[in-house]
């Protein structure tokens, strides 16, 4: 019995432990408030300075429990070093948190890249408003003390709402903002995509539908997948599976700033452009038209047109076991026509597949030309 604590002492220890567990740090509170104001959980978040010079935990907390990439900048070497050390300790340095040193009047980010920016008290009167608007993409928000600055969409931006721009299938953009000289805005996943692939865009977002044929193994992860992507920095906002067996190579995708319409062999799904959730769907009634499979859809106005047909062949997904990045990669067979010397015994040229370099240990095998052409 001597090993047990008195009841009063034990109760005091429990209360103190609960109080410590339930009290969040000031850095966590400030980070949560910044996240709440920005409304951002995925994308690029710029942080200019610290709430307190000796408290880098604010940046670490900002990147916790979400999918943000945080860029920190300060002209103070001590602040930059403190953020780097805290991020490294948390295992986030160079992965989700990046830090640099630079003056307040020039943020080291490309134009239209960040979804949010938080300005510290020390930098509020020193960061130009125009510079904040430069690095924010449209609909991005800067938090400068009690003020919240939202970047609007510029006049003249055109959407690419349907696979060939519009319902007339004329791939001619009306955009007046994108002008030469052109530069790469971002590189982001997925780097490799299966076939076929359809992309539409509206409201600052890309919507990419990946098909059922993978030619290389690095394309397998996105077979029959639909993604919503930030059109300014490549952040994958959401993903969802597509109907297996429905060939997407057709005009059944329409993008608007709020809704993505996706027609398949079941219905036309109305997908929330921001979240990827299905909000509603249009099902062809029994006995109307030629079937329930959506063949094409066009929406030049508020009254869409559509055509449906009977269900046909349902192509299964084709996964690949070949590795490489393209022609000449080890492990990817290239289709050629073999040439033989002219002789009485030599027949016509025949198709074959062979390893590109001959150093991978593969041997050539003959396949039908029709199969090679469709592979």
Q: What angle do CA 299, 305, 310 make, to 5 degrees?
A: 130
Give the CATH number for residue 110: 3.40.50.150
The pLDDT of residue 282 = 85
The pLDDT of residue 344 = 36
The pLDDT of residue 27 = 84
Shared domain for 40 and 146, answered yes or no, is yes
Residue 276 contacts residue 239 (beta carbons within 8 Å): yes
The pLDDT of residue 371 = 31
Is residue 158 a part of any domain in this protein? Answer: no
Find out whether the peptide bond into 202 is cis, omega within 30 degrees of 0: no
Is residue 183 a part of any domain in this protein? Answer: no
CB neighbours of residue 220 within 10 Å:
15
The pLDDT of residue 306 = 59
Residue 365 domain boundaries? 327-342+349-375
Is residue 141 a part of any domain in this protein? Answer: yes
Cα dihedral 69, 75, 79, 82 sign: positive
In the numeric block, which tokens belong to residue 81? 């070093």
Is residue 83 a part of any domain in this protein? Answer: yes
Give the CATH number for residue 261: 2.40.10.480
Shared domain for 200 and 284, answered yes or no, is yes
Shared domain for 129 and 236, answered yes or no, is no
Shared domain for 135 and 35, answered yes or no, is yes
Shared domain for 143 and 205, answered yes or no, is no
Classify residue 221 by its DSSP letter: G
Shared domain for 271 and 304, answered yes or no, is yes
Is residue 187 a part of any domain in this protein? Answer: no
Q: What is the pLDDT along the chain (375 residues), one digit of tens a residue?
A: 444 555 555 444 444 444 444 455 788 899 999 999 999 999 999 999 999 877 899 999 999 989 999 999 999 999 999 999 999 999 999 999 999 999 999 999 999 999 999 999 999 999 999 999 999 999 999 999 999 999 999 999 999 999 999 888 889 999 999 888 888 999 999 999 999 999 999 999 999 999 999 999 999 999 999 999 999 999 999 999 998 888 888 888 999 999 999 988 888 899 999 999 999 998 888 777 666 777 766 765 545 555 555 566 677 888 998 887 655 444 443 333 333 333 333 343 333 333 333 333 333 333 332 332 333
Shared domain for 331 and 304, answered yes or no, is no
Shared domain for 284 and 334, answered yes or no, is no
Is residue 15 a part of any domain in this protein? Answer: no
Residue 208 contacts residue 229 (beta carbons within 8 Å): yes
The pLDDT of residue 8 = 54
Considering the entire predicted model, what is its pTM? 0.77
Characterize the bridge pairing of strands 136-144 and 114-119. Answer: parallel
């Amino acid at each position: 019995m001597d090993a047990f604590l008195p009841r009063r002492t034990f109760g005091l220890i429990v209360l103190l432990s609960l109080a410590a567990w339930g009290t969040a740090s000031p850095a966590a509170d400030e980070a949560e408030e910044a996240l709440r104001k920005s409304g951002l959980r995925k994308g690029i978040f710029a942080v200019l300075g610290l709430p307190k010079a000796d408290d880098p935990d604010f940046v670490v907390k900002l990147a916790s429990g979400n999918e943000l990439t945080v860029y920190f900048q300060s002209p103070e070497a001590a602040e930059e070093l403190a953020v780097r050390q805290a991020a490294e300790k948390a295992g986030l340095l160079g992965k989700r948190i990046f830090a640099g040193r630079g003056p307040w009047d020039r943020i080291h980010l490309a134009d239209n890249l960040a979804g949010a920016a938080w300005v510290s008290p020390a930098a509020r009167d020193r960061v130009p408003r125009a510079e904040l608007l430069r690095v924010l993409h449209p609909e991005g928000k800067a938090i400068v003390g009690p003020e919240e600055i939202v970047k609007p969409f510029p006049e003249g931006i055109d959407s690419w709402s349907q696979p060939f721009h519009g319902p007339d299938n004329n791939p001619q953009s009306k955009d007046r903002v994108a002008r030469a000289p052109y530069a790469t805005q971002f590189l982001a996943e997925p780097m490799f995509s299966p076939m076929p692939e359809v992309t539409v865009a509206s409201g600052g977002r890309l919507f990419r539908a990946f098909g059922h044929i993978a030619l290389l193994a690095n394309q397998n992860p996105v077979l029959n997948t639909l993604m919503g992507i930030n059109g300014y920095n490549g952040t994958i906002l959401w993903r969802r599976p597509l109907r297996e067996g429905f060939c997407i190579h057709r005009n059944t995708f329409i993008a608007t700033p709020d809704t993505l319409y996706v027609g398949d062999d079941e219905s036309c799904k109305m997908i929330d452009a921001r979240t990827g959730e299905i909000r509603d769907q249009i099902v062809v009634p029994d006995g109307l038209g030629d079937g329930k499979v959506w063949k094409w859809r066009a929406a030049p106005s508020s009254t869409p047109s559509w055509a449906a047909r009977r269900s046909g062949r349902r192509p299964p997904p084709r996964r690949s076991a070949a590795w490489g990045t393209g022609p000449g990669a080890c492990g990817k067979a290239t289709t050629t026509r073999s040439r033989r010397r002219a002789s009485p015994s030599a027949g016509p040229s025949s198709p074959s597949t062979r390893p590109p370099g001959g150093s991978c240990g593969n041997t050539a095998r003959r396949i039908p030309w029709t199969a090679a052409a469709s592979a």
